Amino acid sequence: MMTTMNMFRVALAAAALTFTSATATLAQAPTTAATTTSGPLKIGYTSVEYVLSQMPESKQIESDLKAFSTQLENQLKSKYQEYQTKAEAYQKGGSTMTDVVRADKEKELTNMQQSIQEFQRSADQSLQQKQQTLLKPALDKLQKTIDQVADENGYTYVLNSDGASPVLLHGPKEGDISDLILKKMGVTPGAAPTAPTAAPKATTPAAPASNTKTKTKTKK
């Protein structure tokens, strides 16, 4: 089961990839000129994931994400427990039911299985959407600050060093403006976070398979 912190770090990584995609064309563009009309070309880079994790908003985002995830988890657990209760009742009394009643109960259990599976898929999508919604204000603030730092320090371009295929493949330390961005926000830079290695998973009970036919006297 993935912890909320790991889930949050994955969300940060996903946000970092958004920045990477937006600037990826810079890495592919030919360097036909070493200067711009206003002076020498100056390129800086930053770790979006690192900066986001240092921002004070990150704690509130993590807390809100955890609360939303717990809410979804509890709803799914409630649905699953209801299914288990009815499935056990069917197993105990199925042999004494008429064919019509038995068929009706089996149809009800099948519909509940499908409902649980659909809720779990919907919950995963809702969690991802919630991550994006919570991160957007922080990302907007970060973009604004990057623009300010770049203008104040004469950087023509600012690249993102995050992601499995980062825009930045190599660069001098003096080109890293991450701490400048944090200081501009009034944040004291800290240690870089550990990179996540897995995608977030719903911390909810597995839904029963919809293609499993319910039978009388079958143990669950």
CA angle 49, 50, 56 (to 5 degrees): 100
Task: Return the sign of the alpha-carbon dihedral for residues 121, 124, 127, 133.
Answer: negative
DSSP assignment of 65-79: HHHHHHHHHHHHHHH
pLDDT in tens, 39-76: 678 999 999 989 999 999 999 999 999 999 999 999 99
Q: To which residue do tokens 């930045």 refer?
A: 168
Position 82 pLDDT exceeds 80: yes
- Within 8 A by CB and 6+ apart from 34, the residues are 40, 41
pLDDT in tens, 84-119: 999 999 998 878 888 899 999 999 999 999 999 999
State the pLDDT confidence band at 173, using cuts at 50, 70 and 90.
confident
Residue extents of the structural domains in the chain: 4-27+40-184
State the pLDDT confidence band at 165, using cuts at 50, 70 and 90.
low
Give the three-class secondary structure for 177: coil
Residue 36 forms beta bridges with which residues?
Answer: 39
